[in-house]
Structure 1
């Protein structure tokens, strides 16, 4: 997902904190962490906990999903707790920059713009940028109400249609780029409506307030499978813009970045990574090793 790293820094649900995992005293990679984090015993994780199946609240209010499960596995390697703190997606990097979080782990696509602190729309520098530890690959999908695709089979079919997306995401940037193609070709623009959360966008589409929605493939697939017992939505067309999800770390915190990479590599090697992806039905996005700043 694409984060512009600008705008309002107020985070909804910032008090909504939940600890995942338990500290492990015999963790093999504990000495890789910065001493300050070892002393605290906690890695604070900024996350938009409304993006099933990557991270979301279950019916009991517990934070669950792909990222929390991978964090739990990494906690065994590092000997610290990963504490997920809820924030709107488009404020996570600003929160990381302000040191409210140690890392951001939230289905965030690793891009050169984010690495360099560049606003993806204006192409102006808005901050220092971040480093990423890449751990998963995902493309972007379009979905519509079931049985009502309105002729939408691909991005080019969205000209003159209304599309709902989550603010600050790759989907929003793709929609803006596609809308320009529409107008350059003398076709009507795409009417883009952006929301704070993907769930809000889904609700808008479900109510008939839009023609289509777009989100990362794992999220779109999960939404199609679960919303209304599978009766609400359908995916149209194939994935586009496949790119790595990355765990964002401040550029000044290279020791933490390298410790996270080592922990993710260990989780991949010991098979826990595969178990997590299989559990959530996203094995097609698996990687064989974690990479630093592998996005383009």
Structure 2
């Protein structure tokens, strides 16, 4: 009798995210940056025997039936064992009990992220989300017993997505600032929302970069008067650019013209086409672009990075239990050494932190 084959129930395959990033040199939509980290740092699962033939045949049939039943029972139990194993794995995670029960039940933390900001988060050649943030999230997930599921969105919609509960958190190289904590519009100073709490996990400054061999005489931010800057909308770099434009005007200089875009690659494409003189972005992003775009032939950093501040994982103000669980998870991977391995892998050791703070930005 053929042996029954037990088949495990396979989970559905996740769809490949088809998002593609613009090539800075052509503007064509191409697969995102390489998954490989920089080659060099860019920042410093017994029966009684009977004699009758008739009984022997009956016994044989019975034995086969029992064996088959046992095999079928084994198959059924295997599925239950698989599910039980997954549940036990989640429950055995050291920090699982810190999470809100609703998230523990789902087994997933939904992450809003602008996945076009290499090397922090971007699409690799296979369309998979890669980078510093996804790697850190995977390590945190092992501590919490859940998966972090990244969902792509433009940067300027992430905090609104938290307010509407589309995401549980936002993790996207977001600088922790008082304005964001308090829900204040940086331009008008007016209250526009309830604000968010941050769990800080990295530190980065802001850099300027130009087309290679064409620095436009730019060495500092004060050299930007009369220039055109391309920048990603609603980022900290965008805020700094608007402040600088005011300074230029107040000093009687030609103003700094600002062109803002939904993603940083779009800003770089604008500069490559000579539509802008300079781009501003967080230092890890600027350094990665300078090293990798056009095999290092497209861009160069000008001047020093400024306004170093913390990156924070944003959480809605009323979700303090999740916030505190995330803080514990970040601190756990720092203490275990997993954090350092990830930071070193991506060549951004200079931005490492030793303590996971809440709302450490100013």
**TM-score exceeds 0.5:** yes
Structure 2: distance between partners of 1:284 and 1:218: 10
**2:147 aligned with 1:81:** yes
Structure 1: distance between partners of 2:236 and 2:314: 16
Q: CA deviation at 1:154?
A: 0.8
Whether contact under 8 Å (2:17, 2:127) holds in the other structure is: no
C-alpha distance 16-92 of structure 1, shift in aligned 2 (>3 A) = farther
- Report the secondary structure of 2:175's partner residue: coil
Structure 2: distance between partners of 1:93 and 1:175: 21
Whether contact under 8 Å (2:17, 2:128) holds in the other structure is: no
**2:102 aligned with 1:36:** yes
Whether contact under 8 Å (1:133, 1:292) holds in the other structure is: yes
Q: CA deviation at 1:227?
A: 0.3
Q: CA deviation at 1:206?
A: 1.3
Name the structure 1 match of 2:306.
Answer: 240
Among 251, 258, 264, the residue aligned to 1:198:
264
Q: CA deviation at 1:208?
A: 1.4
Whether contact under 8 Å (2:132, 2:343) holds in the other structure is: yes
Q: How does 1:90-239 map to 2 (within 5 A)?
A: 90-239=156-305
Structure 2: distance between partners of 1:209 and 1:282: 30
Query: Alpha-carbon deviations, 1:127-165, whole Å to 9, x = none?
Result: 000000000000000000111001001100000000000
Name the structure 2 match of 1:4.
Answer: none
Whether contact under 8 Å (1:16, 1:86) holds in the other structure is: no
The structure in which a higher percent of residues are strand is 1
Q: What TM-score results when the alignment is normalised by the length of structure 1?
A: 0.92
Name the structure 2 match of 1:70.
Answer: 136
Whether contact under 8 Å (1:16, 1:85) holds in the other structure is: no
- Report the secondary structure of 2:240's partner residue: helix
Structure 2: distance between partners of 1:285 and 1:270: 18
Query: Alpha-carbon deviations, 1:71-109, whole Å to 9, x = none?
Result: 000010000000000000000000000000000000000
Query: Alpha-carbon deviations, 1:191-245, whole Å to 9, x = none?
Result: 1000000010011111211110000000000000000000100000001110000
Name the structure 2 match of 1:11.
Answer: none
Q: CA deviation at 1:180?
A: 0.8
Structure 2: distance between partners of 1:295 and 1:70: 20
- Report the secondary structure of 2:160's partner residue: helix
Query: Alpha-carbon deviations, 1:29-70, whole Å to 9, x = none?
Result: 000000000000000000000000000000110000000000
Structure 1: distance between partners of 2:341 and 2:262: 31
Whether contact under 8 Å (2:141, 2:148) holds in the other structure is: yes
Mark the runs of 5 or more structure 2 residues left unpaired by the alignment: 1-15, 20-85
Name the structure 2 match of 1:7.
Answer: none
Structure 2: distance between partners of 1:62 and 1:107: 18
The structure in which a higher percent of residues are helix is 2
Moved over 4 A (4+): 15-18
Calculate the aligned-residue CA RMSD, in Å: 1.5
Whether contact under 8 Å (1:45, 1:83) holds in the other structure is: yes
Q: How does 1:261-272 map to 2 (within 5 A)?
A: 261-272=327-338
Structure 2: distance between partners of 1:110 and 1:150: 31
Name the structure 1 match of 2:77.
Answer: none
Q: What TM-score results when the alignment is normalised by the length of structure 2?
A: 0.76
Structure 2: distance between partners of 1:198 and 1:95: 20
Q: CA deviation at 1:16?
A: 5.1
